[in-house]
Amino acid sequence: METKEHLVADLRPYLVAPRVQPPLDPRFRPAAIARRAMAAALAGLREGVPVAVAVEQPGGTVSTRETLVFPDGRPEAAASHAFCERLVKFLLWSRGGNRVWIDGPDGLVRALRSHFEETPTGRFDAHMMGEELFIAPFEVVAAPRSDFPVSRASTSSLGRHLDGCRIGFDLGASDRKVAAVVDGEVVFSEEIVWDPSHQPDPQWHFDQVMDALRSAAAHMPRVDAIGGSAAGVYVDNEVRAASLFRAVPRPLFETRVRGLFRELQQAWNGIPFVVVNDGEVTALAGSMLSGAGGLLGIAMGSSEAAGYVTPDGQLTSWLDELAFVPIDYAPDAPVDEWSGDRGCGAQYFSQQAVARLLPAAGIEADPALPLPERLAMLQRLMAAGDERARRVYETIGTYLGYALMEYRDFYEYEHLLLLGRVMTGGGGDLILERAREVLRVEDPALADATTFHTASERDKRHGQAVAAASLPALG
């Protein structure tokens, strides 16, 4: 049977070195460039077999893609299997779904089923998409394209409600923020450092959020609605998966954490209360600040959070969990601590990326030093003009440029908003500069079509708070 390492090894002939090299990572092999190399090889041989892939959510949202693979029997067929597995993984974590439909060669179907049933990374994805996120069996279905469910996107008009007295909150991995918002104006905001991922008691989590809400409520005559964002996956205010609650034992997760926000809503007399993924609020905040639709928001914090606003300004039912999406196909790419997979966004666009790149830059840091403090150290070095710090930011910026080429194949965006602590200060400017350089060199059309947005520190804090507070409609 093919293992994950075998699949990655099969990609080697197509792992082309990027024309813009990350200064600290010469082995980086961008997904977008590798897929283009595979497409060119197939076009040259004119033997490509059409393949259709669809990912389906229980609620009926269906996302489809089409590609070409080598026919069964050719030596290159194994490489096709590897590329399709990476494609399916992108769809699973960007769109979300528990059922994968495949119309393709028998060998490809067998390889994908083997991957999801027998490899650690495949089993992780299958478990998360099935039991954890969509609470339904995960399966790979072989069927002709004509039998696929109809492609359908589910969008909603959540947000942009600014009337009344509202609370907006954001629960991150290293801090929690809350704001009181009256008719769209922030009248109070507070940011408190916390460490939720190591707290096993659900009551601790409940009390922390309740304290934040009460702090904001004290600055308004009443509370009409509460909206919030948090790292993780949330469906109808229910916690499906979130690193914030990783220390909570499974039985307690099921009995207290899964319905935590509904419990909080009850404690606030059932007023309108909406919680969504933090990436979605990032994108919504960017859209509200810029007045633009077709916007992809990326926050580089303790991990990578992402969200998407459609060209007509709506949120989707997609997961947008780009932290788990592969952007580097190098066989020795860094390993994600949670999924065990290689080359995924969390290791490239976060404080984790900073910690990984510090030794390569020759910057010594105590391994026991928390990630935010290692980032703060890097920022101080950058402000002092340290060339080693520049190389860290240039490397992240190079990663970003190539990731944007990959993201653009899956998202219809013309606007990009970049937020998060990694983007703070002069280092953030360097990340943007380097990303633009990559696009100019590798994909000039995409460079011309993309408008980059950043936000002031005030807008980052207040914009996110207002966007979160605006999620529920009144009445």
Q: Where are the domains of the chain?
A: 4-155, 158-280, 288-464
Q: Which CATH architecture has domain 158-280?
A: 2-Layer Sandwich (3.30)
The chain-wide mean pLDDT, for the chain, equals: 92
Position 462 confidence tier, pLDDT thresholds 50, 70, 90: low
Cα–Cα distance, 281 to 419 (Å, whole number): 11
Q: In this predicted model, what pLDDT tens digit does every residue of 398-411 receive, in sequence order?
A: 999 999 999 999 99
**Backbone phi, psi, residue 349, to 5°:** -135, 60
CB atoms within 10 A of CB 171: 23
Find out whether 66 and 39 touch, Cβ atoms under 8 Å. Answer: no
Q: What is residue 404's predicted lDDT score, i.e. its pLDDT?
A: 98
Contacts of 173 (CB under 8 A, 6+ apart): 196, 197, 231, 243, 244, 301, 302, 303
- Checking if the pLDDT of 167 tops 50, the result is yes
Q: What is residue 400's predicted lDDT score, i.e. its pLDDT?
A: 98
Cα–Cα distance, 136 to 132 (Å, whole number): 8
Least trusted range by pLDDT, from 41-50, 261-270, 356-365: 41-50
Task: Enter the DSSP assignment of 147.
Answer: G
Q: What is residue 460's predicted lDDT score, i.e. its pLDDT?
A: 63
158-280 and 288-464 have identical folds: yes
In the chain, the percentage of residues whose pLDDT exceeds 70 is 97
- Checking if the pLDDT of 2 tops 50, the result is no
Q: What is residue 459's predicted lDDT score, i.e. its pLDDT?
A: 66
- Give the residue, 327 or 421, on which the prediction is more confident: 327
Cα of first residue to Cα of last residue in the chain, in angstroms, is 57
Question: Residue 146 burial (CB < 10 Å; 0-12/13-18/19+)?
Answer: exposed
Q: What is residue 3's predicted lDDT score, i.e. its pLDDT?
A: 43
- Give the angle 255-256-258 at the CA atoms, nearest 5°: 85
- Right CATH number for 288-464 from 3.40.80.10, 3.30.420.40, 3.40.50.1220, 3.40.50.510? 3.30.420.40
Q: In this predicted model, what pLDDT tens digit does every residue of 91-118 receive, in sequence order?
A: 999 999 999 999 999 999 999 999 999 9
CA distances from 451 to 90, 210, 320, 394, 464 (A): 24, 39, 20, 20, 20
Q: What is residue 8's predicted lDDT score, i.e. its pLDDT?
A: 55
- Give the residue, 24 or 47, on which the prediction is more confident: 24
Cα–Cα distance, 209 to 215 (Å, whole number): 10
Q: In this predicted model, what pLDDT tens digit does every residue of 214-260 receive, in sequence order?
A: 999 999 999 999 999 998 899 889 999 888 999 999 999 999 999 99
